[in-house]
């Protein structure tokens, strides 16, 4: 009995008041950022953290090492911006995250843990670390080129698609040899 009164109250209010909202008019929250956008934001924050770590270690790093680390940071930022604008493959995103989270900071921390004498500009450890950074820098440049050329290839493919799509039927007959 109580249930019937409860249900009838809804029926009367709906009939007496404004019509019920159609299901598609129900407020739905706007969609949040995609997983890729979240990943890009995490990568950018990690890169900011790496930059801060390099800056904090600046006085403990020889000038050539500090300069090379900053150059790598600049190139990594170009990659992050390019990926945010035009996307990248999963492999490129994984490599970028590994560079920012491991390949640059881990050897830098190991280098900073050495004695001051081992971090002199003419020390063997400084030379070895500089060579490692050279390899990383070349890898970063290659990756930036890959990301950019991927976008160029996509634009070229899309351009061919548009040319084919909007080509007139008379042109198709001439091109087909008919």
Averaged pLDDT for residues 119-132: 94
Percent of the chain clearing pLDDT 90 (strictly above):
46
Q: Give the span between the Cα atoms of 71 and 133, in whole angstroms.
A: 10
User: What residue spans define the domains of the chain?
Assistant: 34-159
Residues 33-75 pLDDT 10s: 777 778 878 889 999 999 999 999 989 999 999 999 999 999 9
Highest mean pLDDT among 8-12, 162-166, 174-178: 162-166
Tokens matching residue 144: 């930036």
Distance, in Å, from the CA atom of 13 to the CA atom of 20, rounded to the nearest integer, reads 10
Higher model confidence: residue 152 or residue 128? Answer: 128
Reported as a single tens digit per residue, the pLDDT across 74-110 is 999 999 998 888 888 888 888 899 999 999 999 999 9
Q: Which two tokens stand for residue 88?
A: 């990248």
8 A C-beta contact, residue 104 and residue 47: no
**Predicted pLDDT at 10:** 55
CA distance 37 to 57: 30
Question: In the prediction, which pLDDT does 86 show?
Answer: 82
Report helix, strand or coil for 95.
helix
CA distance 46 to 122: 31
Q: Are 69 and 61 in contact (CB under 8 A)?
A: yes
């Amino acid at each position: 009995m109580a249930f019937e009164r409860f249900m009838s109250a809804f029926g009367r209010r709906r009939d007496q008041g404004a019509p019920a909202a159609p299901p598609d008019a129900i407020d739905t929250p706007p969609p949040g950022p995609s997983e890729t956008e979240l990943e890009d934001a995490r990568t950018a924050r990690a890169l900011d953290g790496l930059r801060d770590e390099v800056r904090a270690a600046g006085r403990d790093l020889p000038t050539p090492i500090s300069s090379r680390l900053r150059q790598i940071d600049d190139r990594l930022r170009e990659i992050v911006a390019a990926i945010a604008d035009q996307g990248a493959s999963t492999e490129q995103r994984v490599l970028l995250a590994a560079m920012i989270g491991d390949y640059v900071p881990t050897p830098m921390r190991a280098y900073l843990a050495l004695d001051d004498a081992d971090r002199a500009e003419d020390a063997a450890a400084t030379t070895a670390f500089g060579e490692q950074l050279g390899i990383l820098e070349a890898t970063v440049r290659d990756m930036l080129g890959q990301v950019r050329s991927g976008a160029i290839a996509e634009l070229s493919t899309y351009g061919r698609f548009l040319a084919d799509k909007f080509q007139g039927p008379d042109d198709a007959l001439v091109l087909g040899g008919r």
